[in-house]
Amino acid sequence: MSTTELLVEPSRVSPVQRAVVGAFRSREFAIAAVLVLVVAAATFKSSSFVFSHDGWRDLLLSPSLLLLVAIGEMVVIVTRNVDLSVGSTLGLSAYLTGRLFTDHPGIPILLVFVIGLVFGALLGCINGLLVTVFQVPALVITLGTMYAFRGALVHWAGSKQIYASNLPDSFQNLGTEQILTIPVLTIVGLAVLVLVGYYLWNARGGRELYAIGSDPEAAGLYGLPVARRVFGAFVVCGALAGLAGVVQDARYSTATSSTGQGLELQAVAAVVIGGVAIFGGSGSVYGAAIGAFLLITINAALPILGIPEFWQNAVVGVLILGSICLDRFLAQRRTHRLIESRDDA
Amino acid sequence: MAEQRVDPTLELRDVSKSFGSVAALRAGTLVVEPGMIHALVGENGAGKSTLVKIVAGVHQRDGGTFRFQGRDVDFATTAAAKDAGIAVIYQEPTLFPDLSVTENIFMGRQPVTASRRIDRAAMYAEAEGLFTRLGVHLDPRRTALGLSIADQQIIEIAKAISLDASLLIMDEPTAALSGIEVERLFAVARSLRDEGRALVFISHRFDEVFALCDTVTVMRDGSYVSTDRIEDTSVAEIVSRMVGREVAELFPKTPATIGDVVLEVQGLTTAGVFHDVSFQVRAGEILGLAGLVGAGRSEIARAVFGVDRYDAGSVRLLGRDVPPHQPRSSIRAGMAFVPEDRRQQGLVTEGSVARNITGVIRSGLARAGILTSRAENAAAVPWARRLEVKTGALDMHATTMSGGNQQKVVIAKWLATRPKLLIIDEPTRGIDVGTKAEVHRLLSELAGQGMAVLMISSELPEVLGMADRVLVVREGEITADLDRSDATPESVMTAATRSADSEPAA
């Protein structure tokens, strides 16, 4: 079976073969392999990286924050938009969580999670409205709201800080609690991942997000509800950043006015490394999730591998550039093959 | 027994639409009966596309009646028109390249299971069925990326059929198709008609119109002209209705003595755009380049000036070769190019009039690399005066000027380079009638002074009134070279619309 046949006439290949070959050729598989390699190399140097209680837990727990934010970011990027305000949203939500526990002792933990989610969604509404109503590129709008939200947080928190002593023990325990050795917070992230993944693949609305990212103008002519869908994507992205804010408090038991700074770029990086096209239309949320795991794990593994800390950013940069160049190369080859096959027909 | 009357599927009467001060549609009327293929023909800018976009819900009409299946309707969005059962195939296919062809067909209304989950198996099966019916071999799972234009049209048609549309509008669907593909499309169109659907077919190829359609409506200048059964009319009759208007008085070309050859183009070719284009322009001559939108006229001009690359051929100015793809050398050699879209390509709309006029000769004005407004103004004054640019002051911003004055500023800018050849693309587009005459007078005056002018225009009267000689371009080839005395609306339109006798080379 040739690659071209798989491109032009996938139906002639058996479903099993299609699934297997598709999986092996997929971007998700490639970065998962890189992730496994990184983990294997670090474990080889120091077996406690995986084979110790704390090592295993941290491996799964540390990415849970970025996982949530990257899932939201992916939903926005697939529509050919971007949300740079997620770090600030997370910071606001993290501080809000601390205040809720401080000002309302005994507040149910579940309620705090819901409040964080809804609060993030409201901030997402602001982004969504600005982008869809004013038709200004999301890059500019969310750059503005990134600073505006951060400014609001600095005004609100000032030099105050949320300490572990402000948070109930049962809430802090969530940060370390495990079910079948898997941290609870990671389970939350994975549950969201499955939910969003299911929606994007199986629901009409999810497919429309891809269509909009693939060609926004065609989507308009086609009669798709472009504004409503893009608005929805920003709300989901904000909600997940808000949820991540609560998770961050449970994980680190602290929040300041600078919590979440720089996370927006990490989220975009995770999405891009995960194979989601920066101009939308293609890629999967699972790729973005693996990208998030890879980013965090590399940062943890590099010191163990004896690579100085200040090289970490450079490594991430190389990963981004590498994955983008590879994408471009593969896309061009694919287009070329498809056009060639036309002449053979 | 009284004859049973069926409501027409589509009924538009005196529909009007303006964009700003430009009336794109004055009184559009179109009545399409079910079970009919209805041709809509007219010159460029006759308002066909605007009419279609109103029916499709892209634009909303300013006035007139719009009835669909006997009911008054008003589509605010494309989605509303689609839900009512109207499918439109635009000139440019609108597909999502990243998604499978099946998803492209069913996007937004995919078959779903009871739990609202997309039923992919059913969707693929349905797509298979559609392709079989259309007689094409396409894999429903492949991506839309890389499909030929013909296959993209097929996807659009499959979309329309799966919508179960009662009205299908095709805006120049055959422009990019080969003979076999056109036949296949026609077979599908006829079978849809026989099912009782109404079709609107927009085309510039009259032989196709006469082969396929049952009725034909002619539009001109945004207004309805006539509707006839196809067997009651002829190509000649349709053409004369499309162009029928008085030409003479608006465009006063003063006779000029024709001198030596200024521009000589030999065998200019760019694959897929134009082939083997050869022509000459002489001093004092205005050469009109006529043809339909998309025929490749602007592309030829851009290649001659050096904006775009070309694959083969040569351009000579005053007997000397002009190197390809180097607009700077072209300017130095004595060419000037006033582009089609002056706001985007010809003007710094935020800049002052003086800055715009001196834009090309700027390096000559600078002293020690420094350019002062005073130097700019001093250089701009004579040109602005000569063209009677009406602005309060030279430092007024170009963006605040009328279209006619903007065009004069662009022309002044190029005249400041003292060119031997002026290439001007759509000289009077978007300019009011009074100023049009001024631009025409200016062009004629320039030719009188011995300048060679290559003028591209979609307005037939303008070409016929101004040009000493008319070249007609059709699908990238020159199909006619007419002297002023031989150029009539009929002869130009016939040369511009005749469908290809042979396959164009790929």
Q: Where are the domains of chain A?
A: 3-10+26-344
Do B382 and B427 share a domain, yes or no? no
Quickly state the pLDDT bin for B352 (edges 50, 70, 90). Answer: confident
pLDDT of B421: 92
- CA–CA separation, A120 and A111 (whole Å): 14
**B184-199 pLDDT, tens digit each:** 888 888 988 998 899 9
pLDDT score of B440: 84
Euclidean distance between CA atoms B103 and B106, whole angstroms: 5
Residue B216 has pLDDT above 90, yes or no: yes
The per-residue pLDDT for A328 is 82
Q: Determine the Cα–Cα distance for residues B485 and B71; give it in Å rounded to an integer.
A: 51
- pLDDT band of residue B251 (cuts 50, 70, 90) is low
A334 and B CB contact within 8 Å: yes
In-domain check, residue B116 = no
Among B86, B116, B139, most A C-beta atoms within 10 A, so best to mutate, is: B139
| Closest Cβ–Cβ partner in A9, A282, A341 for B98 | A282
Q: Any chain B CB within 8 A of the CB of A344? A: no
Query: Which of chain A's residues have a Cβ under 8 Å away from the Cβ of B81?
Result: 223
- Kindly indicate the confidence band of residue B500, based on its pLDDT and cuts at 50, 70 and 90: very low
Chain A residue nearest residue B156, CA to CA: A222
Best residue in A11, A21, A340 for a mutation probing chain B (most B CBs within 10 Å) = A11
CB-nearest to B95 from A11, A208, A218 is A218
pLDDT for position A342: 66
Q: Which helix (H) or strand (E) holds A237?
A: helix A226-252
Buried b or exposed e, range B136-156, using 16+ CB within 10 angstroms:
bebbbbbbbbbbbebbbbbbb
For the cut 70, the answer to whether the pLDDT of residue A345 exceeds it is no
Q: Do A34 and A213 contact (CB within 8 A), yes or no?
A: no
Mean pLDDT score of chain B, rounded to an integer?
82
Higher pLDDT, A33 or B390: A33
pLDDT at B506: 33
Distance of residue A10 Cα from the nearest chain B Cα, in angstroms: 6
Q: What is the pLDDT of residue B247?
A: 43
| Of residues A7, A201, A211, nearest to B96 (C-beta) | A211
Q: Quick one: B79 and B210 in the same domain?
A: yes
For the ranges B15-24, B436-445, B476-485, the one whose mean pLDDT is highest: B476-485
Confidence of residue B348 (pLDDT cuts 50, 70, 90): low
Please indicate whether residue A27 or residue B253 has the higher confidence score (pLDDT): A27
B64-122 per-position pLDDT tens digit: 899 999 889 989 888 899 889 899 888 766 899 989 999 999 998 888 888 889 999 99
pTM recorded for the entire structure:
0.74
Please indicate whether residue B355 or residue A289 has the higher confidence score (pLDDT). A289
**What's the mean pLDDT in B111-140?**
88
Chain A nearest CA to B263, separation (Å): 38
Residue of A nearest to B150 (CA): A342
pLDDT of residue A52: 83
Residue A181's pLDDT is 86
Q: Are residues B401 and B384 in the same domain?
A: yes
Q: Is residue B135 part of a domain?
A: no
User: At residue A186, does pLDDT exceed 90?
Assistant: yes
Contact between B78 and A8 using a beta-carbon 8 Å cutoff? no
- The residue segments making up the domain with residue B367 are 344-418
- Residue B501's pLDDT is what? 46
Same domain, B207 and B274: no
With 60 as the cut, is the pLDDT of residue A1 above it? no
In a domain, B103, yes or no: no
Does residue B489 register a pLDDT over 60? yes
Chain B residues close to A8, C-beta within 8 Å: 139, 142
Find the mean pLDDT for residues B143-159: 83
Choose the mutation target among B89, B96, B151, B169 for the interface with A, i.e. most A CBs under 10 Å.
Answer: B96
Higher pLDDT among residues A9 and B175, named by residue = A9
Q: Chain B: which residues have CB within 8 Å of chain A?
A: 56-58, 77-83, 90, 94-99, 103, 107-110, 112, 116-118, 124, 139-143, 145-148
3-state secondary structure of B25: strand
Cβ A186 vs Cβ A60: under 8 Å:
yes
Q: Report pLDDT for B234.
A: 85
Highest mean pLDDT among A284-288, B77-81, B258-262, B502-506: A284-288
pLDDT digits (tens, 9 = 90+) for B264-283: 999 998 877 888 999 999 99
Residue B21 falls inside a structural domain:
yes
The answer to whether position B426 is within a domain reads: yes
Assess whether pLDDT exceeds 50 at residue B504. no
Whether B127 is in a domain gets the answer no
Return the closest-CA partner of residue A207 out of B52, B188, B96, B226: B96
Total residue length of chain A: 345
> Could you tell me if B261 and B393 lie in one domain?
no
Q: Using CA atoms, how far apart are residues B268 and B276, in angstroms rounded to an integer?
A: 5
> Per-residue pLDDT for B499 more than 60?
no
- Residue B154 near residue B160 (C-beta atoms within 8 A): no
What average pLDDT does the segment A43-52 reach? 86
Q: Say which residue, B135 or B64, is predicted with more confidence.
A: B64
Q: How many CB pairs under 8 A join A and B?
A: 100
The pair of three-digit structure tokens given for residue B38, joined into one six-digit string: 């209805």
What's the pLDDT at B304? 92
Mean pLDDT for the stretch of residues B354-371: 70
- 8 A C-beta contact, residue B199 and residue B228: no
- Which positions in chain B touch A195 (Cβ < 8 Å)? none
Mean local confidence (pLDDT), B35-52? 86
What does the pLDDT average to over B51-66? 90
Over residues A134-154, mean pLDDT: 93
**How many residues are given for chain B?**
506
Where does residue B276 fall: left (phi above 0), alpha (psi -120 to 50 degrees), or beta otherwise? left
* Residue B451, token pair as written in the block: 């300048």
Q: What are phi and psi of B431, to 5 degrees?
A: -115, 140
**Extended strands (E) in chain A:** 178-179, 182-183
**How does residue B343 score in pLDDT terms, banded at 50, 70 and 90?**
low
For range A81-100, the mean pLDDT: 95
pLDDT on residue B476: 86
CATH of the domain at B281: 3.40.50.300
Disruptive mutation site among A80, A208, A215 for chain B (greatest number of B CBs within 10 Å): A215
Tell me the average pLDDT across B231-238: 85
Q: Quick check: B292 pLDDT over 60?
A: yes
CB contact under 8 A, B142 and A7: yes
Q: What is the pLDDT of residue B157?
A: 84
Determine the average pLDDT of the residues in A240-244.
96
Rounded CA-CA distance B407/B318 in Å is 27
**Domain end residue (candidates: B358, B393, B418):** B418
Which residues of chain B neighbour A213 with C-beta distances below 8 Å?
A: 98
CA distances from B452 to A31, A139, B5, B335, B336 (A): 62, 48, 61, 10, 10
Fold of the CATH domain A3-10+26-344: ABC transporter involved in vitamin B12 uptake, BtuC (1.10.3470)
Closest residue by Cα to residue A226 from A236, A216, A215, A235: A216
B435 and B383 within one domain: no
User: Does the pLDDT at position A50 exceed 60?
Assistant: yes
Nearest CA in chain B to A223: B79
Residue B395 placed within a domain: yes
Q: Which chain B residues have a beta carbon less than 8 Å from that of A341?
A: 146
Query: Do residues B393 and B305 both lie within one domain?
Result: no
CB-based contact B139 A10, cutoff 8 Å: yes
Residue A27 has pLDDT above 90, yes or no: no
Same domain, B52 and B154: yes
Q: Which helix (H) or strand (E) holds B160?
A: helix B149-162
Rounded to the nearest 10 degrees, what angle do helices A109-134 and A138-157 cross at? 140
**Shared-domain flag, residues B280 and B363:** no
In the sheet where B10-19 sits, what is the strand order? B71-72, B63-68, B10-19, B22-32, B223-229, B215-220, B37-42, B198-202, B167-171, B86-89
All residues at 6 or more sequence positions from A196 whose CB lies less than 8 Å from its CB, including other chains: A71, A74, A75, A236, A285
CA of B275 vs chain A CAs: smallest distance (Å): 21
Min distance A335 CA to chain B CA atoms (Å) = 6
For position A229, what pLDDT does the model report? 95
Residues B210 and B253 in one domain: no
Q: Name the residue facing B90 among A7, A221, A277 (closest C-beta).
A: A221
Residue B191 CB neighbour total at 10 angstroms = 13
Work out how many domains chain B is built from and give that number: 3
Which amino acid is residue B468, in one-letter code?
D
The span from the CA of A223 to the CA of B88, in Å, is 11
Which is more confidently placed, B466 or A21? Answer: B466
Residue B110 lies in a domain: no
- Give the pLDDT confidence score for residue B252 in this predicted structure: 63
Q: CA-to-CA distance for B65 and B55, rounded, in angstroms?
A: 11
Whether residue A193 is predicted with pLDDT greater than 90 in this model: the reply is: yes
Contacting residues of A for B83, CB less than 8 Å apart: 223
Beta bridge partners of B397: B352
Is the predicted pLDDT of residue B3 greater than 60, yes or no?
no
pLDDT category at A122 given cuts 50, 70, 90 is very high
Q: Each residue of B446-457: pLDDT tens digit?
A: 888 889 999 998
Q: What is the pLDDT of residue B390?
A: 62
> Do B152 and B194 have their domain in common?
yes
Q: Are residues B182 and B218 in the same domain?
A: yes
Which of B399, B418, B437 delimits the end of a domain?
Answer: B418
Average pLDDT value for chain A: 89
What order do you get walking across the sheet with B274-282 strand by strand? B274-282, B261-270, B312-317, B320-321
| List of chain A residues whose C-beta atoms are within 8 Å of the C-beta of residue B95 | 215, 218
